[in-house]
Amino acid sequence: MTRSPPSPEPRLPPAVQLRLLAVLALVLAPHLPRLPAWAALLVVVMLVWRTLAALRGWPLLPGKLRVLLTLGAFAGVYASFGSVSGQTAGVALITVMAALKLSELDRRRDLMVMVFLLYFLLITHFLFSQELWTAAYLLTVATLITALLIDANHPGSVLPLRTGLTMASRLLLRALPLMALMFVLFPRLPGPIWGLPADAGAARSGLSDSMAPGEIARLVGSDAVAFRVRFDGAVPPPSERYWRGPVFKRFDGRRWDSGSRAIADLAPDAELHGVGYRYELTLEPTRTPWLFALDLPARTGLPEDARINADHQLVLVRGEVRERRRYRLQSHAGYRLQRELPAALRAQTLLLPPASNPRATALGRQWRRVASDDAAIVEKALRLFREQPFHYTLNPPTASRDPVDAFLFDSRRGFCEHFASSFAVLMRAAGIPARVVTGYLGGERNAIGDYWIVRQSDAHAWTEVWLAGRGWLRIDPTAAVAPERIERGIGSALDDAELPDFLNPATRSGFRFDLRARWDWLNARWNQWVLGYGPELQAELLQRFGLDGVRDMLLVLTLLISSALAGFGWLLLWQSRVHHPVDDTLRAWRRLQKKLARIGLVQGDQEGPRDYVSRVISARPDLAPALAQLLALYLQLRYLEGSDAERQRALENAIGAFTASARHGN
Catalytic residue among 374, 402, 416, 520: 416
Cα 120 versus chain centre, distance: 18
The minimum distance between CB 636 and another protein, in angstroms, equals 6
- Non-local CB neighbours of 610 within 8 Å, separated by 6+ positions: 631, 635
The minimum distance between CB 599 and another protein, in angstroms, equals 21
187 and 553 Cβ atoms separated by less than 8 Å: yes
Active-site residue 416, yes or no? yes
What is d(CA 403, CA 400) in angstroms, rounded to the nearest whole number? 6
- Nearer of residues 59 and 604 to another protein, judged by Cβ: 604
What is d(CA 325, CA 309) in angstroms, rounded to the nearest whole number? 20
The minimum distance between CB 7 and another protein, in angstroms, equals 13
The minimum distance between CB 172 and another protein, in angstroms, equals 20
- Nearer of residues 115 and 633 to another protein, judged by Cβ: 633
- Nearer of residues 242 and 634 to another protein, judged by Cβ: 634
Catalytic residue among 125, 312, 418, 460: 460
The minimum distance between CB 585 and another protein, in angstroms, equals 9
Q: Which long-range contacts (CB under 8 A, 24 or more apart) does 616-621 make?
A: 620/660, 620/664, 621/666
35 and 45 Cβ atoms separated by less than 8 Å: no
Active-site residue 580, yes or no? no
- Nearer of residues 72 and 155 to another protein, judged by Cβ: 155
- Nearer of residues 124 and 614 to another protein, judged by Cβ: 614
- Non-local CB neighbours of 79 within 8 Å, separated by 6+ positions: none
Dihedral Cα 221, 226, 232, 235, nearest 10 deg: -30
328 and 279 Cβ atoms separated by less than 8 Å: yes
**Residues at the interface with another protein (CB under 8 A):** 156-157, 578, 580, 586, 605-611, 632-633, 635-636, 638-642
Catalytic residue among 311, 405, 458, 476: 476
What is d(CA 565, CA 559) in angstroms, rounded to the nearest whole number? 10
The minimum distance between CB 639 and another protein, in angstroms, equals 4
What is d(CA 458, CA 440) in angstroms, rounded to the nearest whole number? 5
The minimum distance between CB 5 and another protein, in angstroms, equals 20
What is d(CA 485, CA 416) in angstroms, rounded to the nearest whole number? 10
443 and 476 Cβ atoms separated by less than 8 Å: no
Dihedral sign of CA atoms 42, 48, 49, 53 in order: positive
Tally of CB atoms within 10 A around 331: 24
- Nearer of residues 376 and 582 to another protein, judged by Cβ: 582
What is d(CA 438, CA 345) in angstroms, rounded to the nearest whole number? 19
- Non-local CB neighbours of 307 within 8 Å, separated by 6+ positions: 299, 314, 315, 317
- Nearer of residues 33 and 156 to another protein, judged by Cβ: 156
Q: Which residues are catalytic?
A: 416, 460, 476
